[in-house]
């Protein structure tokens, strides 16, 4: 099965760490990318760089900031091929954001016609 | 054995086996339902087969395969079936009990129960699914037991099954490092079911009995797990007092219960299980030990207080400390107990207020006692409890 591991971080959580710890966290993210089954993913710039667009009555409405104003912000994702939810959960639990005040949302990816 | 009894006993095992075989909950459930319907039609005239479970599994496999064949959208699954390793009996077999040896029917109920109680499902869905899939209750029965409309329960089950399929919740016993926490979740679901039934004066839903049945399955399949044994012991020891717990719809306190109405054989069975669980007692075994001491003719309150203390250390629960205070009240007197109660932060908990009220009453502080009974009454949820508290207020 294919899963998207959606990474939500708490802004400032990583910055609060020492430079060495930040480097270690960065390495963890890099190591996870090489995990068997990892097929893709992306890391996003800080939420301050986000732009949100909506269309109402054919008028484009562009606003500064993220879609949802939440304490944790969407920061990136991995795409993972795993046997089942338990296997995906074990990988997700190793994503640093999960223990640094953020969370990882596991979503199965639609594959093929359903 | 009546057909209905066989059905209840066999449903979980047959369904588990079919999910393991087909890898699809809905297909397995439909196939199982067809097989049980065929059995209901045939067994009364043909007689119940020697191995009802094997008959049901074999019949259901054939029905399921037929269903797959008919359903062209699921053609991909047929290819999967064709790739089944040889040794599985083929799709061509004749329906009936003769073409499968009883040993060929694996017991996969643990896989089923762990799947139903997966933490990725909401607790209410875990409970409903466990009762439907493992215990074999109908959707309507579960809905009645939890006082929700049948449609609501049906949607709850449908959503849960859809999540299992789409999110890839495994039909598996979790790997060793995760097993203790996952087993704790399973046991919590069973105990929740038990309490849902036990709280009702007649247990019209039969949920306490269903929970005990599930507890027996777990204890049999996990004989080396002290907490599986401990939970079954706990449920049996509580349930043994069931007939004496109410007069009409009113609660009877332990001390006032008619002991001749306790089920002695159930108490003995609970104690034997407790002995086995005692090698490594967890929260359920400790609670069972307390329940066991409460069935003695002379209550050993100091020992009960010690066990509650151990349980409180293990669980960190303020409610358990409250229970310890009740035992301390008997062992050392109400003043020592009140000191414990007043140190606990449980302002919204009915029993914190009622326990305080009881202790204040015994200390002769009538006005404070009445006020505390009133606070308990404001939070009481069942009619028998409200009547009990109203009597206390009138008497104090």
Segment B101-107 mean pLDDT: 67
Which of A3, A82, A85 to mutate against chain B (most B CBs within 10 Å)? A85
* Min Cα–Cα distance to chain B from A52, Å: 29
pLDDT band at B104 (very low <50, low <70, confident <90, very high): low
pLDDT per position as a tens digit, B141-172: 999 888 899 999 999 999 999 999 999 999 99
B169 touches chain A (CB under 8 A): yes
User: Is B172 in the A-facing interface, judged by CB distances under 8 Å?
Assistant: yes
| Average pLDDT of the segment spanning B216-243 | 94
Q: Which residue of B has its CA nearest to A82?
A: B168
B70 pLDDT more than 50: yes
Q: For B313-377, give the DSSP string.
A: HHH--HHHHHHHHHHHHHHH-HHHHHHHHHTS--TT-HHHHHHHHHHHHHTT-HHHHHHHHHHHH
In this complex, do B169 and A3 lie within 8 Å of one another by their Cβ atoms? no
Helix axes B207-221, B226-239, angle to 10 degrees: 150
Q: Work out the mean pLDDT of chain B and round it to a whole number.
A: 89
Separation of alpha carbons B146 and B30, rounded Å: 24
Section B159-188 average pLDDT: 94
Question: How confident is residue B83, by pLDDT bands cut at 50, 70 and 90?
Answer: low
Contact residues on chain B for A83, CB-CB shorter than 8 A: 168, 170
Structural contact between residues B133 and B15, judged by C-beta atoms closer than 8 angstroms: yes
pLDDT greater at residue B385 or residue B313 = B313
Is A108 in Cβ contact with B167 (below 8 Å)? yes
Average pLDDT of the segment spanning B236-241:
94
For residue B103, pLDDT over 80 is answered with no
The answer to whether B20 faces chain A, any CB pair under 8 Å, is: no
B-chain CB neighbours of A113 within 8 Å are none
- Which pLDDT score is estimated for B74? 59
Residue B90 pLDDT exceeds 50: no
Cβ within 8 Å, pair A85-B169: yes
Contacts of A106 in chain B (CB under 8 A): 167
Contact indicator for B345, B318 with CB cutoff of 8 Å: yes
Question: What is the per-residue pLDDT across A24-49, written as a single tens digit (0 to 9) for each?
Answer: 999 999 999 999 999 999 999 988 99
pTM of the model: 0.83
- pLDDT digits 0-9 by tens, A42-88: 999 988 999 999 999 999 999 998 988 888 999 999 999 999 999 99
Cβ separation A86–B167 shorter than 8 A: no
Q: Are B286 and B307 in contact (CB under 8 A)?
A: yes
Compare B3 and B10 and report the one with higher pLDDT. B10
Is the distance from CB of B191 to CB of B231 less than 8 angstroms?
yes
Task: Name the minimum distance, in Å, from the CA of B178 to any CA of chain A.
Answer: 10
Give the C-alpha separation, A52 to B374, whole Å: 54
Report the pLDDT averaged over residues A14-26.
94
pLDDT recorded at residue B69:
82
| Per-residue confidence (pLDDT) for residue B242, from 0 to 100 | 87
pLDDT at site B382: 82
CATH topology of domain A2-108: Alpha-Beta Plaits (3.30.70)
Chain A residue closest to B114 (CA)? A86
Strand arrangement of the beta sheet that strand A38-43 belongs to: A38-43, A73-81, A2-9, A103-108
Compute the average pLDDT of residues B383-394: 89
pLDDT for A70: 84
Q: What is the pLDDT of residues B54-63, one digit of tens each?
A: 999 999 999 9
Q: How far apart are CA B221 and CA B215, in angstroms?
A: 10
Set of chain A residues whose Cβ sits within 8 Å of the Cβ of B174: 86
Q: pLDDT digit string (tens) for B199-208?
A: 776 666 688 9
Does B167 contact A106 at a Cβ distance shorter than 8 Å? yes
State the best of B167, B170, B172, B179 to mutate against chain A, taking most chain A CBs within 10 Å: B167
In chain B, which residue's Cα lies nearest the Cα of A112? B76
Are the C-beta atoms of residues A102 and A7 closer than 8 Å to each other?
A: yes
Which residues are CB-contacts of B67 (< 8 A; sequence separation ≥ 6)? Answer: B27, B30, B31
Instruction: Name the token pair of B353.
Output: 């207020």
pLDDT of residue B94: 45
User: A17-21, A97-101, B49-53, B108-112: lowest mean pLDDT where?
Assistant: B49-53
Quick one: pLDDT at residue B92? 41
How far is the C-alpha of A53 from the C-alpha of A67, rounded, in Å? 8
Q: pLDDT class for B93, splitting at 50, 70, 90?
A: very low
A 57-96 → B contacts, CB under 8 A: 82-86, 88-89
Rounded to two decimals, the ipTM of the complex is: 0.87
Mean per-residue pLDDT, B179-193: 95
User: Pick from B166, B172, B174: which is nearest to A108 by CB?
Assistant: B166
| Mean pLDDT within B217-243 | 94
Report the pLDDT value the prediction gives residue B396, as an integer from 0 to 100.
78
Confidence of residue B368 (pLDDT cuts 50, 70, 90): very high
- Measured between beta carbons, which residues in chain B are less than 8 angstroms from residue A108? 166-168
- Check residue B264 and give its pLDDT: 94
**Percent of chain B predicted with pLDDT > 90:** 69
What integer pLDDT is reported at residue B159 of this predicted model?
96
Q: pLDDT at position B165, please?
A: 94
């Amino acid at each position: 099965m294919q899963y998207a591991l959606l990474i939500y971080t708490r802004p400032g959580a990583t910055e609060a760490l020492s430079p060495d710890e930040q480097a270690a966290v960065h390495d963890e993210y890099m190591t996870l990318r090489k995990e068997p089954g990892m097929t893709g993913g992306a890391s996003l710039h800080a939420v301050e760089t986000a732009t949100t667009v909506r269309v109402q009555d054919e008028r484009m409405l562009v606003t500064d900031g993220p879609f949802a104003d939440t304490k944790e912000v969407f920061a990136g994702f991995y795409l993972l091929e795993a046997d089942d939810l338990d296997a995906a959960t074990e990988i997700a639990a190793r994503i640093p954001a999960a223990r640094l005040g953020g969370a990882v949302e596991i979503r199965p990816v639609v594959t093929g016609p359903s | 054995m009546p057909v209905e009894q066989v059905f209840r006993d066999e449903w979980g095992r047959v369904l588990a086996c079919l999910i393991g075989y087909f890898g699809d909950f809905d297909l397995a459930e439909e196939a199982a339902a067809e097989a049980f319907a065929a059995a209901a039609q045939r067994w009364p005239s043909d007689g119940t087969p020697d191995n009802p479970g094997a008959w049901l599994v074999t019949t259901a496999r054939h029905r399921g395969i037929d269903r797959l064949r008919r359903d062209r959208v699921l053609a991909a699954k047929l290819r999967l079936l064709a790739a089944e390793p040889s040794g599985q009996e083929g799709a061509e077999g004749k329906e009936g009990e003769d073409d499968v040896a009883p040993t060929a029917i694996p017991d996969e109920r643990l896989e089923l129960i762990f799947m139903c109680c997966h933490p990725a499902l909401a607790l209410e869905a875990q409970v409903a699914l466990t009762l439907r899939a493992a215990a074999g209750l109908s959707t309507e029965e579960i809905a009645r037991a939890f006082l929700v409309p049948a449609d609501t329960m049906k949607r709850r089950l449908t959503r849960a099954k859809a999540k299992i399929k789409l999110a890839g919740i495994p039909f598996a016993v979790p790997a060793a490092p995760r097993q203790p926490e996952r087993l704790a979740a399973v046991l919590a679901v069973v105990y929740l079911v038990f309490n849902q039934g036990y709280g009702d004066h007649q247990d019209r839903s039969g949920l306490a009995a269903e929970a005990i049945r599930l507890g027996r399955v777990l204890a049999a399949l996990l004989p080396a797990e002290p907490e599986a044994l401990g939970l079954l012991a706990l449920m049996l020891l509580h349930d043994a007092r069931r007939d004496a717990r109410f007069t009409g719809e009113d609660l009877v306190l332990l001390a006032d219960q008619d002991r001749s109405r306790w089920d002695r054989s159930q108490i003995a069975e609970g104690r034997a299980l407790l002995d086995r669980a005692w090698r490594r007692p967890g929260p359920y075994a400790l609670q069972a030990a307390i329940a066991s001491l409460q069935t003695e003719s002379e209550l050993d309150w100091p020992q009960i207080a010690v066990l509650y203390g151990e349980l409180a250390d293990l669980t960190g629960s303020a409610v358990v400390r409250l229970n310890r205070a009740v035992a301390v009240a008997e062992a050392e007197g109400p003043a020592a107990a009140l000191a414990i109660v007043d140190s606990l932060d449980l302002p919204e908990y009915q029993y914190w207020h009622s326990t305080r009220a009881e202790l204040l009453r015994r200390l002769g502080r009538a006005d404070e006692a009445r006020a505390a009974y009133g606070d308990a009454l404001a939070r009481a949820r069942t009619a028998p409890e409200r009547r009990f508290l109203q009597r206390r207020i009138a008497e104090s």
